A and B are shown apart, each in its own frame.
Chain A
Amino acid sequence: MKRVRKVALILSSGLALVGCTPANFYTVRTPKPVKSTIKVVVPKDTETKWVKIDNRDNFIWDKSGKEMPRQLAETFYTAAVYGKQHGYRYFAVTQKNTNNLSGFPINDFNEMLRYCKLKGRGHFRSMCWDYDNNGQGIIVNRSVYLKVQYFKEPVPGIFLYNIEQTMKETEKYF
């Protein structure tokens, strides 16, 4: 009898709360998260270009950092010269890991060289290198790949490579 009373009490309390349930209780679904992907607007006076210097024999890399990574300088120089010839003043490196257009702040060849040299020091993972071979780094299998976007004007908040300065900085390596 006691058990029957207990069950009845539970059922009645459940029934009493049914009225509080919103009518669409079972139809409400968690909304899907809004995708924050931004459509990239490419202005008329910019241009995207891949620059690749693939000369494994000439790729000098010494872990001590004493040797100059000439191939890296050559690639940046080639990118800068192309930009200058086509009337641009700035460029952004746009590989995902070092994408200036996403706010990556290094915009100077000498500093980028220093950044690349962090590899192998302690736990550092210099993202200049393509560890996963997915095309997101600059140095892939001892070759240098550079995807750049050129600009005629600076973009506020974005640190772009100055073409004239990059040419001056890279020339001395070869």
Chain B
Amino acid sequence: MKQWFLTAASVLLLSQSVWADYEIFTGKSEPFRHRQVSKKEVIFFGELESYRKSLEEIQNAMKAHGTMGVINGLSNQSANLAKGLVGEGMKAGVTGLGIGLLYGALDPYIMSFYADQQYVQVYKIMLKNGKTVYMNRFFIGDKHPSLTELEIKSILGGK
């Protein structure tokens, strides 16, 4: 009886991920085709609010230390993101805007109060023509039932 109950409970738990309702959105910094990709690496994975916080942290570090010293003193998540951004893209941003990297008013999202799970995975992509572009996969999941971070990561990394 006990064994039957445990089996039923584990099946129920496992099936949460099957029932979970979610959508994935894709964004690209520049349009490109899959066949143009030569290298792809994940430079950020985490909640949307963490992404905002990491950008804020990088921006503050840049104000304090400039582009070169930006990685010093950052949290692991932000340091990874900064490493991905420093380089061609960062230089383009700095020279393009003339006055250094600009992020706008980094408002916290109101949506964190609502019943959605929001995760973002950001990729740095090297194209065969040597150009660097960025791509994101944005996960929005219904919290009833919710998925674990590991499950979300595997869903986002699956394609």
Residues of A participating in the B interface, judged by any CB pair closer than 8 Å: 36, 38, 40-46, 92, 94, 96-97, 99, 101-108, 111, 114-115, 118, 121-125, 127, 136, 149, 151-160, 162, 165
Contact = CB atoms under 8 A, between A and B. Distances in A.
Interface of B: 21, 23, 25-31, 48, 51-52, 55-56, 58-60, 81, 85, 89-90, 92-93, 96-111, 114-116, 120, 122, 134, 136, 138, 140, 142-144
B134 A38 contact: no
A102 B109 contact: yes
Q: Is the interface of B mostly helix, strand, loop or mixed?
A: mixed
- Determine the main DSSP class of A at the interface with B: loop
Contacts of B108: 102
A105 B120 contact: yes
A115 B51 contact: no
Contacts of A162: 30-31
B110 A105 contact: no
Contacts of B98: 43-45
Nearest to A134: B110
Given A106-B25, A154-B92, A155-B97, A101 B103 contact: yes
